[in-house]
Amino acid sequence: MTLLLASLFGALIFQPSGAVNTLTVGTSSGPVTGFINDATPNVAQFLGVPFAEQPVGERRWLPPVLKYPELSINATSFGPSCPQFEGNASSTWQTDAPEFIIPNGTTGEDCLSVNVWTPWENETSTELLPVIAWIYGGGFQTGGGNVPYQNPSRWIERSQRHIVVSINYRVNIFGFPNAAGLKDDEQNLGLFDQRLGLEWIRLNIAYFGGDPNRISLWGQSAGAMSVDYYNFAYPTDPIVQGLIMDSGNALVSIGSSDPEHTNFTFVASHFGCSNLSVQAELDCFRNVSTTEIEAFLKQRSDAGTTPAVSFNPIVDNRTKFANYTERALAGNFTKKPAISGTAANEGAPFLPYNRTYGPNMTLTNYTTLSLFLCPTVKTTQNRWAAGTTTFRYLYAGNFSNISPLWWEGPYHSSELPLIFGTSGIARGASTPFEIETSEKMQDYWLAFAEDPVNGLPAMGWNAYEPDGDGVLLGRDVASQPIAETRLEAPCDGATPKAGALPPP
């Protein structure tokens, strides 16, 4: 530890307890000053705290390194989300529920930061609190810490018993470049960002009142895939004690296969970085602004221009593997307890948007099964075969302020506002049943974070057994049992059966 870092810690660290009572906290990044607001006066918020040296200039397209401490950090507003673009096409998320999308104008390359929400001056809490580290989704193309539906301050205001930390990570071409000038096992930069974010949390969370020995890693969609990738990548030093995977896992077939690195070179060539050595290509492309790069990618995407280019995690046998079932059955993963589940109408937003008539339901059902339910079935079965605890759920809530159109229902991501406590921030207040379902889901997730092995069974949600029950959420009552056989009936392992329909 450097002399500067040691002095910062010596000046500002307090005796850890289950809440903060100062808005300036010493961290390995330097002293951070947060705030409280009138909406959630019992929650201290520390936003936009850098955990890594920012990936700008020569650091663009390199693995992250821990932030060197600054003299002071203003943590009273969100930092930029990583460079990205949203397409022009109408969709459920773009048109009907834009609270799933980061606000315009809040992206930038200096984006590797965490946001910490923790109880404020809770004198009844003396023990260090469980921590939930949040990894956002977005298909590895979009997402960030400043998503209105994914702000946990209302949840923490209600519970006063846990801390949430969201981790920004690089996406699309900046997070998963697959560039010829980089090492083969250093292409999945966004996944390295997530790992360093967790290392920062482990190093610093006690000073926000959190327990570094009770960190659960929670993700949704691409975030859930990231959680499962992490599960296999760090079996000997997992940092986390529990995993929560909403609508995604390592068996979901999203990724890139471009061994010749043609996508990266194609985009670089558009900006004059062509016919160069691989190192010169990188050096040249690092001088092009992120705004220009994302504008080019957006224009091609909106126009449907071919050849299509994509930037997703690649198999590098370090952060992502090709043989997850084989590795699971051999026990080559963390073996930490997990919550794993899906929504009943996942596929609806992925089909062409038709506001009046909705998507083709045959294709919607197939998408729900093939991309989400059946990979979850197979993952759960693999974990069971390896003797590992899994709690399985199906979300079936249908609330008009989140799903305003008749055909949307429990679509992909629609459960998140209930867990975060943000379901009533747009298109009308939440109904009493919506609030009841929200609080039940919050209590489940918190019980797991407090004790990943025993917390949920104490609430009546038992771990997976082939002839047992999972939980069905938001259908007629907030929570009820659903037979595991019903969840597995449409699937032959990770593959949908012909003509099968999603439960319930």
Closest CA to 230 of 318, 325, 116: 318
Mean pLDDT across 312-334: 97
Catalytic residue, candidates 99, 281, 346, 488: 346
* Strands, E assignment, 221-350: 242-246, 338-343
Chain-centre distance of CA 237, in angstroms? 20
**Can you give the pLDDT at residue 4?**
44
**Can you give the pLDDT at residue 490?**
98
Residue 123 has pLDDT above 80, yes or no: no
Active site residue 294: no
Provide the pLDDT confidence category of residue 122 given band limits of 50, 70 and 90. Answer: low
**Can you give the pLDDT at residue 255?**
75
pLDDT in tens, 156-196: 999 999 999 999 999 999 999 999 999 999 999 999 999 99
3-state secondary structure of 42: coil
Residue 121 has pLDDT above 90, yes or no: no
**Can you give the pLDDT at residue 124?**
58
Provide the pLDDT confidence category of residue 48 given band limits of 50, 70 and 90. Answer: very high
Residue 372 has pLDDT above 80, yes or no: yes
* 343 in any annotated domain: no
- We report the CATH number of the domain holding residue 73 as 3.40.50.1820
pLDDT in tens, 265-289: 999 999 999 999 999 999 999 999 9
Catalytic residue, candidates 29, 166, 221, 370: 221
Sheet containing 73-74: give its strands across.
Answer: 24-25, 32-33, 73-74
- β-bridge mates for residue 477, sequence order: 475
Q: Which positions ≥6 away from 7 have C-beta within 8 Å?
A: none
Q: Max alpha carbon distance in the chain (Å)? A: 66
At 350, give phi and psi (nearest 5°): -90, -10
Residue 320 has pLDDT above 50, yes or no: yes
**Can you give the pLDDT at residue 21?**
87
Provide the pLDDT confidence category of residue 238 given band limits of 50, 70 and 90. Answer: very high
How many domains are there within the chain? 1
Q: Which positions ≥6 away from 103 have C-beta within 8 Å?
A: 146, 148
Catalytic residue, candidates 86, 159, 412, 415: 412
* 73 in any annotated domain: yes
Chain-centre distance of CA 226, in angstroms? 7
**Can you give the pLDDT at residue 309?**
93
Q: Which positions ≥6 away from 405 have C-beta within 8 Å?
A: 92, 96, 355, 358
**Can you give the pLDDT at residue 11?**
40
* 170 in any annotated domain: yes
pLDDT in tens, 250-260: 999 887 788 89
Q: Which positions ≥6 away from 470 have C-beta within 8 Å?
A: 341, 391, 392, 393, 394, 461, 464, 481, 482, 483, 484, 487
Active site residue 53: no
Chain-centre distance of CA 378, in angstroms? 21
Active site residue 412: yes
pLDDT in tens, 86-103: 999 999 999 999 999 998
The Cα–Cα gap between 457 and 463 comes to: 7
pLDDT in tens, 329-353: 999 999 999 999 999 999 999 999 9
Mean pLDDT across 28-47: 97
Q: State pTM to two decimals.
A: 0.95
* 326 in any annotated domain: yes
Structure tokens at 153: 């301050």
* 373 in any annotated domain: no
* 384 in any annotated domain: no
Write down the mean pLDDT value for the chain.
94
**Can you give the pLDDT at residue 125?**
60
Helix (H) or strand (E) holding 131: strand 129-135
Cα-Cα end-to-end distance for the chain: 55
Type of residue numbered 179: A
Helix axes 278-285, 262-270, angle to 10 degrees: 50
**Can you give the pLDDT at residue 254?**
84
Print the domain residue range for 221: 3-258+312-336
3-state secondary structure of 395: strand
* 275 in any annotated domain: no
* 292 in any annotated domain: no
The Cα–Cα gap between 112 and 296 comes to: 23
